[in-house]
Amino acid sequence: MKKLATLAALAPVPAFAASGPFFSLTNTNFIVLLGFLVFIGILVYYKVPAMLGNLLDERASSIRSELDEARALREEAQTILASYERKQREVQEQADGIVKQAKADAEAAAVQAKADLKTSIARRLAAAEEQITAAQTAAVRDVRNAAVNVAVEAAKEVLSKQLSAADANKMIDASITEVSAKLH
């Protein structure tokens, strides 16, 4: 607390600085006033307020032009953004169309593949049935030929035991004629 009181005592007090009449050169308040007025006069003489005004006007106009440029850039950016958003929508629509077309093509290809598979199966079944029919026909023909051969051999033995040579020749000729008529 003592330190604070000592500091306060040492600090100059403005009331003690001004002594005597106000308009005297010994009065510090008057001297400060004169110095201030001379300083203001010098500033006015050298047109410092006008220069400050011009500098402030120039700064204001440069700020205004920067703001105008910023607005123009913002508008241009918004235009570019809108353009890109429109292009993005168009590309998305095209992509959706491509996907939709691809799905439709895939479905059509699946339907065509099913139809082709059915046709192929039907063709293979028809070919198998033809092969079965041909095999049946060949088997029937082979059985007939075998039966004819067995019958001919059996008839030959029976006839050779019972018939004379002349009767046998007549029967052979008749059988040949009959067989050739049935085969053709």
User: Given this model, what pLDDT does residue 133 score?
Assistant: 92
> Global pTM?
0.40
Are 143 and 163 in contact by the 8 Å Cβ rule? The answer is: no
- Give the tens place of pLDDT for each residue, 118-144: 999 999 999 999 999 999 998 888 888
User: Given this model, what pLDDT does residue 57 score?
Assistant: 96
User: Given this model, what pLDDT does residue 107 score?
Assistant: 93
Stretches in the chain below the pLDDT threshold 50: 7, 11-13, 15
- Give the tens place of pLDDT for each residue, 7-27: 455 544 454 556 667 778 788
Q: Where are the domains of the chain?
A: 47-183
User: Given this model, what pLDDT does residue 19 score?
Assistant: 64
User: Given this model, what pLDDT does residue 42 score?
Assistant: 94
Q: What is the 3-state secondary structure (H, E, C) of 96-125?
A: HHHHHHHHHHHHHHHHHHHHHHHHHHHHHH
User: Given this model, what pLDDT does residue 182 score?
Assistant: 78
User: Given this model, what pLDDT does residue 20 score?
Assistant: 67
d(CA 80, CA 36): 58
User: Would you report the helix, strand and coil content of the chain in percent, each value rounded to 5?
Assistant: 90, 0, 10
Torsion angle in degrees (nearest 10) through CA of 126, 129, 131, 137: -140
d(CA 61, CA 68): 10
